[in-house]
Structure 1
Amino acid sequence: MPEPSTTPRRRRGRLYRCGAAFVVLLAVAGYLVVQYVTGGAGAPGCKVVSADGDGAAYEFTPEQAVNAATIAAVGTGRNLPERAVTIALATALQESALRNIDYGDRDSLGLFQQRPSQGWGTEQEVMDPTYSAGIFYDHLVKVDGYTELPLTVAAQRVQRSGFPDAYAKHEPDAALLAAALTGHSAATLTCEGRPGTTRVAGTDAVRTALARDFGQDVLEPAGAVVGDGDPTPAASPGAGRDARTLTLPVTEGSGGLGVTQRGWQLAHWAVANASALRIEKVSYAGREWTAGNTDSQWRATETDGAAGAEKNAGPVRIVTAQ
């Protein structure tokens, strides 16, 4: 009597091995997608939450935070509405996951995947986040009624993407970021902000980055001073000065925003740049954020809390690691 054939058994073995290999391949692909979208999971995290108490939140990386803060600063520096910033952020989320990448489809580069061959600027220019955000806004404001259009329509009229509906899915996250980074929502953006992740540090580095994103006017007149004393001209020279503290006065009309909104924009900008600039502490309007806390919350520094914050917001104070 012939022995039973082993062929079906071998075939099942091959199927199992192929199936296992396919599962591993899917896992690797999923990991790479997550790494692309988040910019790497190992970096200290950032989070923005809704001011409406509806539980909406978006988590992102310090790299994404720096780029988002730049996009918002460039927009408000042009006195553009929050809607413009939301459209720009959603576009950059779709095009590059808010990462300043040096590759893309054909010659596309940077945050917005702009193509030098299509007149967006030189390779060096479109890789500059401040420039790329600015030229995006240049095109956006030429779109008639862009603030009233669906976000994906407004973005597509600028980008001319092969995937015209792709921007819409990023609108909720972009709206949360825009509300915080234009200062509309107070104390809603936090980062772990572990100091020491870069060699760039000190108040000079913070001043340079502020001028890059907001323009030199953010440091004038009398403007930002090194030290935690009174930043007004009447203050005694050197009074209460600490070389690690940059004090930013906030005035009416700064960046086209009200005093408190402008203050929260600057405060959130500092938190977003905490890892890159080794910022240890930011305080404004009776609230304080400290790097390295496990919960990364804004905490009240006054007994009267938020009520006192609105009444006497004061300057924004940024404390660096050195």
Structure 2
Amino acid sequence: MTETVSNASASRFGRLLRAIAGLSVLLALVAYVFVRYESWETGTPGCVVRAAGGPDSGTDPDASFELTPEMAANAATISAVGTVRGMPERAVTIALATAMQESMLLNISYGDRDSLGLFQQRPSMGWGTTRQILDPVYSAGKFYEHLADVPGYSRLPLTEAAQRVQRSGYPRAYAKHEPGATLLAAALTGRAPAALTCTTGRQPGAGDPAKVRTELVRTFGEGVLPAVTGAGRAGARHTAGAGAELRVPVTVAPGGGSRAAAKARRGWELAHWAVAQADLLRITQVSYGGRVWNADEAYEGWQQVGRGVDGTGEVGIRVDQ
């Protein structure tokens, strides 16, 4: 009898422990969601890229990847340099995964021996001067230059393609970054519309549209913007309030496939680049394809503001002054 009572008590005690454990997990989840929401609402700097979704996307529709504004800005540069060179999305994925492993997408001035920068390239091994390697546009370009020389790189496993360029002592380490790099590449090349959003630090002080223009041209090339006109010091359109808005025309080179689809992809590439650079360049609003991202409402992501917009016209980048 005593043993039966003890077993019953033990059973009730076990159920109580499981209930407490379940409640603890639930409370922890609620706390996590609350903290994440609060951080987005209060503008804590950070970026998130989400899966494109859809049954044919080949990606987990709930997948996401978080990174800091500095990481996002560097990732956007790496992607842009690749597309300017005509490299496919797979090449951008390989480059991003490589930089994630080598530097965590941070442009660091140190590393193993004389390794430097996003890809930990070495001046002593002919990758360029220290100053060149620490320029993300240059270092990304050198990575793609070497990747393009790898026969059939787009069909190789990511680890093998990256290793052919990097000659790392830990070649398998690249694989763990492939899921995040895949999400980033889809957004930053424009294939996944409205997939990247960021919150900024909202630092006091004015932004500079001329600097935005300079970075656009430095990253995407001279043809990304129309020539400077009398409309403003940076060729920007000054709008209501103390601000200026760059209108970036969306153009694509002639080629196969749907021109409208290609222009929409290009537009989202430029729009996501601007959001990724928002904290660094103090960009306060980006608009494209009937959607808008606002720094003051960044926790809401991209908001629909128009109907029947085909997404092939211009990207608006606003900088408050």
Task: Give TM class, smaller chain.
Answer: 0.7 to 0.9
Alpha carbons of structure 1 residues 142 and 294: separation in structure 2 relative to 1, 3 Å:
closer
Q: Which residue of 1 aligns with 2:37?
A: none
Q: Structure 1 residue 202: deviation in Å?
A: 1.8
Question: For residue 208 of structure 1, what is the aligned residue in structure 2?
Answer: 214
Which amino acid counterpart does residue 51 of structure 2 have in structure 1?
A: S
**Aligned-partner SS, 1:147:** helix
Task: State how 1:188-203 maps to structure 2 within 5 Å.
Answer: 188-196=195-203, 201-203=207-209
Residue type of the partner of 1:227?
R
> What residue number does 2:279 align with?
275
Aligned-partner Cα distance in 1 for 2:246–2:212: 8
TM-score using structure 2 length: 0.77
Aligned length: 265
* Deviation (angstroms), 1:216: 1.2
Give yes or no for contact 1:195–1:274 (8 Å, CA) kept in 2.
no
| Distance in structure 2 (CA, Å) of the matches to 1:242 and 1:141 | 45
Displacement of 1:292? 3.0
Structure 1 residues 90 and 215: alpha-carbon distance in aligned structure 2, compared to 1, 3 A threshold: same
Q: 1:296 to 1:113 in 2, by over 3 A?
A: farther
Residue matched to 1:265: 269
- CA distance in structure 2 between the partners assigned to 1:216 and 1:73 by the alignment: 13
Is 1:144 matched with 2:145? no
Of 223, 236, 239, which residue of structure 2 is paired with 1:226?
A: 236
Whether the aligned pair in 2 keeps the contact of 1:192 and 1:296 (CA below 8 Å) is: no
* Alpha-carbon offset, residue 317 of structure 1: 0.3
Query: Over aligned residue pairs, what C-alpha RMSD do you find?
Result: 2.5
2:252 paired residue number? 252
Per the TM alignment, residue 52 of structure 1 is displaced from its structure 2 partner at its CA by 1.1
2:174 corresponds to 1:164 = no
When structure 1 is superposed on structure 2, of 216-225 and 122-131 the one drifting more is 216-225
**TM-aligned CA deviation for residue 225 of structure 1:** 4.4
1:91 aligns with 2:133: no
> 1:192: Cα distance to partner?
0.6
> 2:35 is matched with which residue?
none
Equivalent residue, structure 2, for 1:50: 51
Q: Which residue identity is paired with 2:186?
A: A
**How far apart are 1:227 and its partner, in Å?**
1.5
1:317 aligns with 2:321: no
Q: 1:43 to 1:94 in 2, by over 3 A?
A: farther
Structure 1-normalised TM-score? 0.77
**Counterpart-to-counterpart distance in 2, 1:300 and 1:136:** 37
Query: Which residue matches 2:21?
Result: none
Q: Aligned equivalents of 2:311 and 2:298: distance in 1?
A: 29
Question: In structure 2, what is the Cα distance between the partners aligned to 1:135 and 1:283?
Answer: 32
Percent of residue pairs bearing the same amino acid type: 57
Give the Cα separation in 2 of the matches to 1:202 and 1:122. Answer: 30
Aligned mates of 1:212, 1:225 — CA distance in 2? 16
Q: Which amino acid aligns with 2:275?
A: V
Query: Is this contact kept in 2: 1:284–1:317, CA < 8 A?
Result: yes
Q: 1:177 to 1:208 in 2, by over 3 A?
A: same
Task: Give how far 1:43 is off.
Answer: 6.0
Matches within 5 A, 1:117-132: 117-132=124-139
Question: Any unmatched runs of 5+ in structure 1?
Answer: 1-41, 230-239
CA distance in 1, matches of 2:67, 2:156: 27
What displacement does 1:249 show?
Answer: 1.1
- C-alpha deviation, 1:156, in angstroms: 0.3
2:133–2:139 Cα contact (<8 Å) kept: yes
**Is the contact between residue 227 and residue 242 of structure 1 (CA under 8 Å) also seen in structure 2?**
no
Take 2:252 and 2:139, find their aligned partners in 1: how far apart are those partners? Answer: 28
Task: Measure how far apart 1:251 and its partner are.
Answer: 1.9
- SS, match of residue 99 in structure 1: coil
Distance 2:118 2:144 in 1: 13
More helix by share: 2
2:67 to 60, 70, 83: 60
SS of the residue corresponding to residue 184 of structure 1 reads coil
Pair 296,177 (structure 1): closer, same or farther in 2 beyond 3 Å: same
